[in-house]
Structure 1
Amino acid sequence: MPADLETAEPARPAIRRTGARQVRPATEGWQQQKGADGRPLLQFASPKRGKPPVHLADLKPEEWKGKAEELGLPGFRVKQLARHYYTRWTTDPAEMTDLPAAGREELVAGMLPPLLTEVKRLETDRGDTIKFLWKLHDGALVESVLMRYPGRITLCVSSQAGCGMNCPFCATGQQGLTRNMSAAEIVDQIVQANRVIASGALGGKKRDDHSQERVSNIVFMGMGEPLANYARIMQAVRTMVAPAPNGLGMSARNITVSTVGLVPAIGKLANEGIPVTFALSLHAPDDGLRDELIPVNSRWKVDEALDAARDYFDKTGRRVSIEYALIKDMNDHGWRADLLAEKLNERGHGWVHVNPIPLNPTPGSIWTASDLDVQREFVRRLEAAGIPTTIRDTRGKEIDGACGQLATEG
């Protein structure tokens, strides 16, 4: 069990010692892989494994004609196929009656090979939350979580099988990185979720809810570090926002890309010209704690990550979200709220919003969410400093489908 230590006080005169209990980050029931220097190992490169079959969603529209010619078919047939996949969410040749019967199955097999096989489905929140366990072509497992809210339907997608960031409080991080997911494997999570919604799952829409019955919002907060799989997530995002039939026709503003702080990739994202929402998973405002809590902080420190986040706002005009898991006696001290506010305000006003998230513990964990009064005090201090702050509504805890709980147990 982590030892109780006195809270270390930063060398800042404005912050006073509180004498609060300080728990240090430590793993439970598993050992972090560490290098010769004793630091947790980080996996940025995807291990070599067999690639998934090339799929329509891996190709840019300008590449469709060439792929059709490979299959001995006219290019316009692929556009018809794309309409079925992106707007009707089907891969069943029998439903594609506008395609000639001769060669239809071959076209579907060549352009829409199966990528995700549903292994298990769990529901909670009166049917308004569904967690899917998917098997990929090589046996790797990933999860995604579908959630209905008033006026929107959100899908939390995975971008990697496992994760190489090695954060001690995250169930996904315990697995290490199996491999990057392809762009099509990412997109197919959305298409399959839309198919499930269309079948009548995900509870019923409320009488005054006039939203469409399909996924409207995407959060890259499932398994994996999205920016460690940069090229493929950006290909997937371009497909999400492309108008039908070239893509899913979603709004870039309803897509959230998160990271634990891969600073060079944040800079690349800022220059993409696609106005997605950017979220930085910070979880501690001081390097002393964040080095232990978020191992990538050994590469890029708090101030570097916050500078990159501010730069994202400057280049896109899109307000940045700061994600902050509130963990009892670890990072929820009042002085840390003050320090976080100070660091954010040093970089200006109106550019950022903080989402404290009461920690979702994994089964048997001694790590747990902050007490309610501590949560309220943390929020009060941020708001008093002029920082817009909203406690995140966590969904799917009962089925281990909330943030940090995805662990692909069959």
Structure 2
Amino acid sequence: MVNSINGKLILLLCVSFIFTLLLSFSFLQIHSAQHKTTDALRYFSGLQKNIDDLRSQLWLFSQRQDSASFTQVKLSHQTLALKLGKQNFYTQRVFNLKKLTNDMASLLSQEQNLSTQSNSLSEHQINQARQLLRYRYNILIENMSEEVAYLNQKTLDSNELSITSVMLYSALGLIFTAMIVLAISFSIYQRFKIGFGRMKLGIHALSKGELANKINSENLDIEFRMLASFFNNMTSKLDESMVTKQELQQEVDRQTSELERQKQQLLVLSEKDHLTGIMNRRALEKALDGTIHNAKLSQSKVALFFLDIDDFKIINDSIGHDAGDAVLQQVAIRLQSCTRKSDIVGRLGGDEFVVCLGLIEKVDQVAQKAQTILDSLSTPIKFNDSDLTITISMGVSYYPFQAHTRDSLIKQADEFMYKAKQIKGSGCFDGQEILAHVDLLDAVQLNK
């Protein structure tokens, strides 16, 4: 017997396929036999109809004795003869019927000859001859009907025997095949039950921590032997590398702490500018959306400062990028020092910064804050024993007076910032007036 569940299943599939073919063949044979029976009954029924039609025409001819009636008799006879001659399936069975039809043709020929010899025979002789012909007509017609009935019954008996034989042999074949399928299925069930039971015991022992327990693969099918071998190898390796529960918990705690540290680090990197440590553009936009939303709910005002370091490129080109980085870092530090914790300070990119004051009551507060920012940023910046003095151009936009969204608020402040560049020194413009100004007459200035 095949010692593999896969092999047994393939065998079961093949036997099932044969079973299906046998069943289909049986149905086809039964259908074919029934079809032949139906065709035979239909054919013999047609013959009987032609015979009855010939009988009717002969009766009309016997009553009328005219040429028209005789012509109809001949037509009916020709139809019957033609139907007998065309079929190819019942040649042996209808041999006697063909012979009777030929005899009828001979009688019709005698009838026709009798009509042509009416002048040479007496009326008495003609009447006797016609009575004899009618008698023979009747005998032939009766013989034909009996022959058709006999053929019909014989066909029914033959086809019934054929169908019975097909059904008997098909039933025997189906029963034999079903027994094979049952035997294979039972074998698969038994072997699977044994293999599954051993695997279940092994897994149950493993769940209790019994790593020394092994699965016995003797007398198992190939698939379960492979699983048992894999399971035994796995438990052996686990047994070699098993750590105590306390050590495992310590490792889990260490990994969790490391993941938390990395998570916080990634959070800082995703929201903080890598150079200045303040909000980057992504975090800045998110914070501005929250401030505008809160202002809308509380019906308060928001002021947004857009800052740009004048001629920052000259610092990078003339002194170096290290000096530029130092300037950006100091700008970020000073902006944070002169704003509240609730205010937003962020770097859009390059030398552009944004400061957002939320929940303000009066515009005077904005002017004071702008002056504080400009004064703080106008203080010289120490770099390599040198003092760097910068000027700032700053634009201010207001929510909800000048803009209603984050992008429009930044865009409006950006436009006002460019107008503030026309102010000598550092300046802040809000679209209507100069809110703050620092004229650095006594310091080294960069040209605007």
Question: Which structure shows the higher helix fraction?
Answer: 2
Task: Report 1 or 2 for greater relative contact order, CA contacts < 8 Å, sequence distance ≥ 6.
Answer: 1
Q: TM-score, normalised by structure 2?
A: 0.18
Q: TM-score, normalised by structure 1?
A: 0.20
- Choose 1 or 2 for highest CA Rg: 2
